[in-house]
């Protein structure tokens, strides 16, 4: 899932607004959540380090993952240091946190699926007739008191 976290400073009011958006369809971002922070406190926390920044950033209604907190802290360092910058956008794709997987490649010694189907899929007409020879009609007698009759 792609996310955009937008930081907006309002120096006049002394607030920082964080807007979280998420991709609901390819290319379509939808606003999810907005949080307001005291600008001086969050700036001090960001300059102090990752742990302090994470504690200050997380709330009951906005609780980014550890990986997202690391990315937010790294990409907003200049934003918090420079008063002239009033907006910053951090893009995050949660697949960045997944371990890299090796691309699967079929090796020559691996068995091809088509070969398996050719070997096991041949049934002679006589074998099919032999299987269908028996009559599968269920038969019940008056003495049968099984639940099938009831």
Examine residue 142 and state whether it is found in any structural domain, yes or no. Answer: no
Both structure tokens of 20? 């979280």
pTM, two decimal places: 0.64
Residue 65 lies in domain:
2-96
Examine residue 140 and state whether it is found in any structural domain, yes or no. Answer: no
Alpha-carbon distance 56 to 53, whole Å? 5
Examine residue 61 and state whether it is found in any structural domain, yes or no. Answer: yes
Task: Per-residue pLDDT tens, the chain, 150 aa: give them.
Answer: 899 999 999 999 999 999 999 999 988 999 999 999 999 999 999 999 999 999 999 999 999 999 999 999 999 999 999 989 999 999 998 877 777 766 766 666 656 666 666 555 555 665 666 655 666 676 666 666 666 554
Examine residue 111 and state whether it is found in any structural domain, yes or no. Answer: no
Examine residue 10 and state whether it is found in any structural domain, yes or no. Answer: yes
Examine residue 122 and state whether it is found in any structural domain, yes or no. Answer: no
Examine residue 74 and state whether it is found in any structural domain, yes or no. Answer: yes
Residue 34 CA: distances (Å) to CA of 11, 51, 136? 18, 22, 67
Domain count of the chain? Answer: 1
């Amino acid at each position: 899932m792609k996310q955009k976290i937008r930081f907006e400073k309002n120096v006049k009011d002394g607030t920082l607004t964080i807007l979280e958006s998420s991709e609901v369809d390819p290319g379509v971002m939808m606003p999810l959540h907005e949080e307001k922070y005291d600008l001086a406190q969050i700036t001090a926390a960001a300059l102090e380090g990752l742990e302090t920044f994470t504690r200050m950033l997380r709330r009951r209604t906005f609780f980014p993952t550890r990986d997202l907190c690391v990315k937010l802290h790294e990409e907003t360092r200049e934003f918090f240091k420079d008063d002239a910058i009033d907006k910053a956008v951090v893009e995050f794709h949660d697949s960045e946190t997944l371990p890299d997987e090796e691309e699967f490649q079929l090796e020559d010694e691996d068995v091809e699926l088509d070969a398996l189907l050719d070997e096991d899929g041949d049934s002679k007409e006589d074998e099919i007739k032999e299987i269908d020879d028996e009559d599968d009609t269920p038969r019940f007698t008056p003495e049968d008191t099984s639940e099938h009759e009831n």
